[in-house]
């Protein structure tokens, strides 16, 4: 039996991951420029700087490649650590979360990925469903769980915390996300994001803050 040095195994693994990353980067650019229907495996191979044969070693078809890109987008979202410490003040938590959430949604390149997922969701409902569950629904659930704690302490009066969490997230998007996602406006500035989130927080608390007495 021929012994294989551990360093050799590590280098092979690193090279494999690097090649996969190279393919995903090239495919992302093509999907964003051309959309799912306009993208071809030949064009993706050229953009990634690999042969078509190498491309098929990593991904069986365009659907599998697109699913991998959606998974990458999910991972990017999961890297953002929203602070829902139940001991934290509700207004401060909402403001901080809202600003971080909108910066994530409206980051350079992020809009193109979301547009592509939205465009393909009808044809590939499993991809759309998985993206929703792993990105949006999880965030809604975490905010709802935080709000539930503060319902118990009497700081806020909310009958349906999941609905309230969804409402707050949509208020945070107001005038920012749709213009960005439809390329009618560039990514909003930090100052504009802060203004919109402050307004959303005031509206949310006006509706849900527990009344004294």
The mean pLDDT value of the chain amounts to 88
Q: What is the pLDDT of residue 91?
A: 97
Compute the distance between CA of residue 59 and CA of residue 61 in angstroms, rounded to an integer: 6
Tokens of 37: 């229907």
Q: Do domains 6-59 and 71-208 have the same CATH topology?
A: no
Domain range annotation of the chain: 6-59, 71-208
Q: How confident is the model at residue 5 (pLDDT cuts 50, 70, 90)?
A: very low
As a whole-number percent, the residues of the chain with pLDDT over 70 amount to: 92
Of residues 115 and 194, more confidence is placed in: 194
Of residues 122 and 93, more confidence is placed in: 93
Q: How confident is the model at residue 60 (pLDDT cuts 50, 70, 90)?
A: very high
Specify the CATH architecture of the domain 71-208. Answer: Orthogonal Bundle (1.10)
Of residues 11 and 120, more confidence is placed in: 120
Give the distance from CA 28 to its chain's centroid.
15
Residue 39 has pLDDT above 60, yes or no: yes
Buried b (16+ CB within 10 A) or exposed e, 173-193: beebbeebbeeeeebbeeeeb
User: What does the pLDDT average to over 182-192?
Assistant: 94
* CATH fold for the domain made of 6-59: Arc Repressor Mutant, subunit A (1.10.10)
């Amino acid at each position: 039996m021929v012994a294989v040095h551990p360093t050799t195994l590590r280098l092979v693994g690193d090279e494999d991951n690097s090649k996969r990353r190279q393919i995903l980067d090239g495919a992302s650019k093509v999907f964003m420029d051309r959309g799912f229907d306009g993208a071809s495996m030949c064009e993706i191979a050229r953009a990634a700087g690999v042969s078509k044969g190498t491309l098929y070693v990593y991904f069986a078809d365009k659907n599998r490649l697109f699913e991998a890109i959606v998974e990458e987008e999910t991972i990017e979202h999961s890297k953002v650590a929203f602070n829902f410490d139940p001991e934290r003040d509700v207004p401060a938590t909402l403001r901080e979360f809202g600003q971080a959430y909108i910066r994530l949604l409206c980051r350079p390149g992020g809009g193109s990925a979301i547009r592509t997922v939205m465009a393909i969701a009808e044809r590939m409902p499993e991809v759309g469903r998985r993206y929703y569950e792993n990105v949006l629904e999880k965030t809604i659930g975490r905010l709802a769980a935080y709000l539930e704690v503060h319902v118990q302490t009497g700081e806020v009066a909310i009958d349906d915390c999941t609905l309230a969490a969804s409402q707050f997230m949509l208020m945070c998007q107001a005038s920012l996300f749709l213009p960005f996602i439809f390329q009618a406006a560039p990514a909003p500035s930090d100052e504009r994001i802060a203004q919109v989130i402050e307004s959303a927080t005031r509206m949310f608390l006006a509706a849900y803050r527990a009344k004294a007495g």
